[in-house]
Chains A and B, each alone.
Chain A
C-alpha cells in the first residue's frame, strides 16, 4: 500500500471511529473540554495522521503504530481491583506523593497521595474540570496548538481524563509528586491521557512521570501535557519511559514560562518500541531559565525520536538542552531541536547539544538542529555528534590495566552520566544509574519486576 493510500485509510479510520463514539466522548465532559474537542477534531481532519512527508515527522513513521484494531477507553472502567496491589514502585527510599493512572484514567482508589499543602489541587483532570471550572477554563488547551500537530489534535479530540495539578501562589511542595501511568488491558489498547499542571506565582514542585506497560499487549499511548509555570515559579519534570517493545508512546508536552521562572525537564527513555516525544517550551517572560535534558537507551528495533522546540519569546532568558542516545543493535534514534529566538528577544542565551553513541554498524541516528534567530543580540549554539566509542580513550583506560569490557562500560556510563546527573531526586537518579549500568552490561533492566515471559 502506498503511503498516501495508507495515510488516507488510517486517517479515515480514526475519523470514522471518532464519529462512532462521539456521544460517549461528549458525555460527562464539560463544555470547555467538548468545545476544544470539536475544534481539535477539525484540526485533525485537516492534517491527517502524519506521514514521513511531514517535515516534523520525517524521521518517525507513526503510521504502522496506528494500524491495529485497538480497544479505546473513552469512559471510565469500573474495576474492583486495588491498583496499589497490582503495581508497587520499588525504588528504595523514594518518598513521593504517589498517584496512579490506568490506561489514561486517574485511579479513583489513589490512597498514597499523602498530605499536600493547603490549596493544592491534585486529582483527575475530568473531575477538576467540573469541580474547579474557573481555574480549568483559564488554562485548558491554551497551550496545546491543535493546528500544529495532528497527534496533539487527536489527543484533544479524545481527551477525557488524566492528571491535574494546581499549586497555589508561593506554595512549595517539598516531596516529589510521582505520577505512574500504567497500561493494562486484556487486548491491544489505545490510551489517551491529558494532563494539566499549573504552578502559580512563586510556587515550586517536582514531578516524576513513570510510564509502565504491565503486560505484553500492544499499546498505543497518545498523551498530552500542558504546563503553566508562572512568575518566579519553579518546576522540575522527570519522565521515565519504560514500556515494552510492542508499545508506541507519543508524548506532547507544552510548557509556558512567565518571568523569572525556572524549569527543568529530563526525559529518560529506558524502553519502548516506538517513542516520540514532542516538547515545546515557550519562554514567555524575561529572565526565565529552561534546562531540558533527554537520554535514550535503545536496542533491538526500538526507535526514539525527541522533537523539541524552545521558543525564546522574551529577552534575557537562558535555555540549555542536552540530548543523548546510546543505540545498540538495530535501534534507530532521532533528534530534531528547534530554537526560535523571536524578534526583540535580545540577550537570549540558547544552547543545544545532541551526542549519540552507536554501538553497532546497524544502529542509525538522525539529528537535526535548527536555529531561527530574529533578534540580533543573542548567544546561541548547537552541536551534534554521532560516533562510536572514542578508541583513544578506550586504549588509555586499557593501558592502565582496565579490561576492555569494563573500559567500555566506564565510558558508556560516563556518556550517560552527563544527563542522568541532572535528576535532582537522588533515589530516582540512583535507580536510573543502576538501570543504565545493568543495561550496558547486557542485562534486562526494567524499572519494575515483570513476568512478561517474553522477549519484548
Chain B
C-alpha cells in the first residue's frame, strides 16, 4: 500500500524529518506516536501533498506509484485521505457543494457517473448516521462555526463519503470528549476492511483503546526510533516519552 524510504523533509530550511522508513500493507492499522515537535504532522502533511514542505531526500511509493510526484487532488482521488488536525473554515463554500464535488471527482476518477442531487443526498444521509453528524451542519459553509468536535466528526464524515484506501488521521482525537471520541473511533472502525489501511497519528493511547493498531511507531526528532505492537502504546501512556528521549541521547 505505502512504502516510505529514507524520507528527509525540510520546512523553511529547517530539517524536520530525518530519514523515515515505513511500510504499510493493506488491512493494517499503524499508530504513529511521539512527543510534540517530533515530526508526526509533517509526515501526515507531506503524504497528503502540502506544498511548503520540501522533500530533500527519499521516496514514497503508494500503490506502486511515486506519491511525491502526484498533485494533492490526484493523491486524494487515488484513495489517500488526510483527516486534518485543524480543519479550516471556508466561509461561502457550502458543505453540500463541496462534498458533492469531491464525491463526484472521485467517481469520475474511477470511471463512474456523477451522482444526481437526489442520489447524493441519500448517500449523505446514510453516512451522516455513521458519525452521528448533526443534519444542520451540512447546511452551512465548510467547517464554518463548527465546534472542535464537530470539525473532527466532519473529517470522518468526509472519509465515510470518500471511502479511502489509506486514511491518515492526524490527531483526530485531540480536543474530543470521550463520547465524541467513541463516535469518531466507531466511524473509523466501521470503514475498516482488509483492503484498506489506516495511519493514526496521536499523542495519546486513549484513541488506541478504540482503534486497535497492529503496529505502534514512536517518532522522535524526525525519525522512527521504536516500533512494536500495541503494548508499546500502553508503555508510553504509563512512562511518558522521557525514556525514549533518554534512549536516544537527549
Instruction: Spell out A's residues near B (CB within 8 Å).
Output: 390-393, 395-404, 406-407, 410-411, 413-415, 417-418
Q: How many A-B residue pairs have CB under 8 A?
A: 79
Contact A395 B93 (CB under 8 A): no
- B48 closest partner in A (C-beta): A399
Cβ-defined contact, A411 with B90, below 8 A:
yes
Q: Is the CB of A402 within 8 A of B101?
A: yes
For B49, B88, B158, B162, the residue with the greatest tally of chain A CB atoms inside 10 Å of its CB is B88
Asked if B249 is at the interface (CB within 8 A of a chain A CB), the reply is no
Picked from B51, B71, B102, B141, the residue with its CB within 8 Å of the CB of A400 is: B102
A402 touches B141 (CB 8 A): no
Given A395-B72, A399-B49, A399-B72, residue A390 in contact with residue B88 (CB < 8 A)? yes
Contact status A401-B106, CB under 8 Å: yes
Query: Does A395 lie within 8 Å of B102, measured CB to CB?
Result: no
Whether the Cβ atoms of B73 and A398 lie closer than 8 Å is: yes
Contacts A393-B89, A400-B162, A410-B93 given; 9 further ones with Cβ under 8 A? A395-B72, A400-B98, A400-B158, A401-B73, A401-B106, A402-B73, A402-B102, A404-B73, A407-B73
B30 within 8 A of A: no
Kindly provide the distance from the CB of A236 to the nearest chain B CB, expressed in whole angstroms.
22
A414 touching B93 by the CB < 8 A rule? yes
A-binding segment of B76-84, B126-134, B213-221, B222-230: B76-84
Task: Flag B45-69 by CB within 8 Å of A: 1 or 0 each.
Answer: 0001111000000000000000000
A413-B101 CB under 8 A given contacts A399-B82, A404-B71: no
> Are B88 and A414 closer than 8 Å at their CB atoms?
no
B99 CB to closest chain A CB (Å) equals 8
User: Counting CB contacts under 8 A, is B171 at the interface?
Assistant: no
B83-116 interface (Cβ within 8 A of A): 84, 87-93, 97-98, 101-102, 105-106, 109
Contacting pair B90 A393 (CB below 8 A):
yes
Give complex CA distance A401, B102 in Å. Answer: 6
B97 adjacent to A402 (CB under 8 Å): no
A397: B residues at CB distance < 8 A: 90, 93, 98, 102
Interface size on B, residues (CB 8 A): 30
Query: Is B92 in contact with A396, judged by CB distance below 8 angstroms?
Result: no
List A contacts of B97 (CB < 8 A).
410
Check A410–B49 contact: CB distance below 8 A. no
Residue contact A401 to B109, C-beta cutoff 8 Å: yes
Question: What's the Cα separation between A390 and B143 when bound, in Å?
Answer: 15
Q: Note all chain B residues with C-beta closer than 8 A to A404.
A: 71, 73
Contact of A417 among B71, B76, B84, B92 (CB under 8 A): B92
A410/B72 contact (C-beta < 8 A), A390-B88, A396-B90, A415-B92 known: no
Set B75, B88, B101, B109: member contacting A410, Cβ < 8 A: B101
Cβ-closest chain A residue relative to B101: A402
Question: Are A414 and B90 closer than 8 Å at their CB atoms?
Answer: yes
Which residues on the A side are within 8 Å of B82 (C-beta)?
Answer: 399
Chain B residue contacts of A406, Cβ below 8 A: 101
CA distance A404 to B74 in the complex (A): 10
Please state if B101 and A411 are interface contacts (CB–CB under 8 Å): no
Which residue from A398, A401, A403, A411 sits with its C-beta under 8 Å from B93? A411
- CA A395 to CA B87, docked complex, whole Å: 11
Cβ B90 vs Cβ A395 within 8 A: no
- The reply to whether A396 and B73 contact each other, CB–CB distance below 8 Å, is no
Residues of B within 8 A of A407 (CB): 73
- Give Cα distance in the complex from A121 to B193, angstroms: 73
Q: Which residues of A contact B92 (CB under 8 A)?
A: 411, 413-415, 417-418
Residues of B within 8 A of A398 (CB): 49, 71-73, 76
Chain A hits for B50, CB < 8 A: 395
Which of B97, B98, B158 has the most chain A CB atoms closer than 10 A to its own CB?
Answer: B98
The distance in angstroms between the C-alpha atoms of A276 and B60, with both chains bound, is 55
- The chain A residue sitting closest to B108, CB to CB, is A401
Contact status A393-B88, CB under 8 Å: yes
Separation in Å of the A324 CB from the closest CB of chain B?
11
A181 to B13, CA, bound (A): 58
Counting chain A CB atoms within 10 Å of each CB, the highest count among B51, B71, B87, B93 belongs to B93
24 contacts between A and B (CB under 8 A): A390-B88, A392-B88, A393-B88, A395-B49, A397-B90, A397-B98, A397-B102, A398-B71, A398-B72, A398-B73, A399-B48, A399-B72, A400-B102, A400-B158, A400-B162, A402-B98, A402-B102, A402-B105, A403-B73, A404-B71, A411-B92, A413-B93, A414-B92, A414-B93
Min CB–CB distance A443 → chain B (angstroms): 20
Return B68 CB to nearest CB of chain A, in Å.
15
Distance between A354 CB and nearest chain B CB, rounded to angstroms? 16
The 6 closest A-B CB pairs, nearest first, are A414-B92, A401-B76, A400-B102, A398-B72, A401-B105, A414-B93
Residue of A whose beta carbon sits closest to that of B89: A393
